[in-house]
A = this chain, B = another copy of it.
Amino acid sequence: MSRLSLNQATIKYADLATALSVTTRAGIGSIGLWREPVAQVGLAEAVRLVADSGLRFSSLCRGGFFTTADPAARQQALDENRRAIDETAALAAAGAPGSRPVLVLVAGGLPEGSRDLRGARARAADAVAALAGHAAAAGVVLAVEPMHPIYAADRGVVSTLDQALDLVGDLPAEVAGVVVDTFHVWWDPDLATLIARAGREGRIAAYQVCDWITPFPADALLSRGLMGDGHVDFASVTRWVLDAGYTGDIEVEIFNQELWDADPAEVTQRVKKAYETTIGL
């Protein structure tokens, strides 16, 4: 299971030091971090902790949220994303060999009161383009994450892999790619074709795995389960991603209240077991 990476959101309530240590102790070689727990200790300390952990760093979650039409708010969002780019570069440099300077970008939803989905999408594309220079200078890949259409209104207006690939199409592949997250894209009738396209265009910046579970929980954000607990055909999707030439880590990222409430060390064991059964690489 050399490509397994634990995304920190799966053990959301663990602080950075705990997240790193339970990952190491579980024999998992790689971790994906979130900005909030990094900020909690400060970037310098986070860099030191990552370096000391001996783990690979697979991505930072998350930048984005730049669909606003207000010029001042937009500038603020871009500045925030530049800081996220710098953090990504520092953390990736601190990680073990094989670390990947990937910043996951979630577009953000419709601005308050707006119904102009097309406009919000255009502004998201503009924002990624505006960040490309800074990302290139820092050696960071901006990874646009298409989000399940359930989030189109309030979280992510980029809804399909097709749309994400179009969005980054004019930027160099070493600067802008996409995230393939099974939870978000598993339903797409064109998924096999789109993953192949993403590979052909050199755009698969990250592969995240998480199952789609039913019945749908009361909190729609938490409708995610361990691989094998839901409806996603991981064998097929993983084969498409590998056939598309993706060679990086495979991140397990699961928002699930029951996992969050459990002991992080126990969660890493459950993640390993689910990963072994469904992915195994």
Chain A residues packing against B (C-beta within 8 Å): 110, 115-117, 121, 148-150, 152-154, 159-160, 162-163, 186-189, 212, 214-216, 218, 220, 223, 230-233
A153: chain B residues within 8 A (beta carbon): 187, 212, 214, 230-231
Q: Please indicate which of the listed interface residues A153, A188, A218, A233 has the most CB atoms of chain B within 10 Å of its own CB.
A: A153
Whether the Cβ atoms of A189 and B215 lie closer than 8 Å is no
Please indicate the chain B residues that have their CB under 8 angstroms from the CB of A154 in the complex: 214-215
Shortest C-beta distance, A99 to chain B (Å), equals: 32
| Alpha-carbon distance between A188 and B186 when the two chains are bound, in angstroms | 16
**In the complex, what's the smallest C-beta–C-beta distance from A55 to chain B, in angstroms?**
31
In terms of DSSP, what is the predominant structure of the interface of chain A? loop
A212 to B153, CA, bound (A): 8
Expressed in whole angstroms, the minimum distance between the Cβ of A166 and any Cβ of chain B is 8
Known A149-B148, A149-B149, A153-B230; contact A189-B162, beta-carbon cutoff 8 A: yes
Set B115, B150, B160, B215: member contacting A148, Cβ < 8 A: B150
A216 and B220 within 8 A (CB): yes
With A121-B189, A153-B187, A153-B212 given, can you name 8 additional A-B contacts, CB distance below 8 Å? A115-B231, A149-B187, A150-B216, A152-B187, A152-B212, A153-B214, A154-B214, A163-B189
C-alpha spacing A116/B232, complex, angstroms: 9
Contacts of A116 in B (CB 8 A): 233
- Shortest beta-carbon distance, A217 to chain B, in Å? 9
Q: Complex Cα distance A77/B40, Å?
A: 57
Please state if B220 and A117 are interface contacts (CB–CB under 8 Å): no
- A33 to nearest B CB, angstroms? 28
Instruction: For the complex formed, measure the closest distance between the CB of A6 and the CB atoms of chain B, giving whole angstroms.
Output: 24
Q: Which residues of B contact A162 (CB under 8 A)?
A: 189
Evaluate whether A232 and B115 lie within 8 angstroms (CB atoms) in the complex, with A150-B216, A218-B218 already known.
yes
Q: Once the chains are docked, how many angstroms separate the CA of A150 from the CA of B220?
A: 10
Q: CA–CA, A154 to B215, complex, Å?
A: 8
Q: How far is the CB of A231 from chain B (nearest CB, A)?
A: 4
